[in-house]
Structure 1
Amino acid sequence: MGVVSVELRNGLREKLAELAHSQWSGWMRYLFDKGTFNDDGTWTMPDWAVVRWKQQMETPYSELSESEQDSDRSEADKFLAVIGS
């Protein structure tokens, strides 16, 4: 692998950071949409989501279902697209 200029590295870093933020904010929108905002300003996650997401969180990638791996691959493809641009 060759030496990458500081400008190129910083530009790529910013693009990747922008993508990371986009992925995070998209997840947060999805997450908040699945729960309930309470009158006191707190938010409650439904029990089905706790069970599902804890299980996914604790499962190594290699043991995820094919559809769950495909979802992660789709997210990885977004990083590859930025790196390849």
Structure 2
Amino acid sequence: MAAGPTSIDELVEELAAIEHERWAHWQQYMHSEAERQPDGSLLIPAALVERWERQIKTDYDQLPEDERESDREQVMKYLPLVQKFFTGEPS
């Protein structure tokens, strides 16, 4: 099993790589849901804007269970690396 990060700087770099993958996946999803305009811009459907604005304004503990589960799935992408850093043990 690969060794985990041994310094805060290494941890930050590895977490940043995970964050970039998460962001790229989100952007890919957003682009797939939007309508490309003739000038190359993207138009986000009103229903998605409404949903995302609701989520932005809602505290985590007030989200429906399926939306909280989606957030937990994102955290699980980071947790093994954080666990490895603090315990020195593989997840």
TM-score category by the smaller chain? 0.7 to 0.9
> Where does structure 2 lack aligned partners over 5 or more consecutive residues?
1-5, 85-91
Q: For residues 41 and 34 of structure 2, what CA distance do their matches in structure 1 show?
A: 10
Provide the identity percentage.
Answer: 32
- Please tell me the root mean square deviation across aligned C-alpha atoms, in Å: 1.1
Shift of 1:42: 1.2
Q: Which position in structure 2 is the counterpart of 1:39?
A: 38
Match in the other structure for 1:17:
16
Distance in 1 (CA, whole Å) between partners of 2:81 and 2:38 is: 41
Q: Deviations over 1:18-38 (max 9, x none)?
A: 011111111000001001111
Amino acid at match of 2:67: E
TM-score (norm 2): 0.81
- Give structure 1 stretches of 5+ with no counterpart: 1-6
1:65 counterpart residue number: 64
Aligned-residue offset at 1:84: 2.0
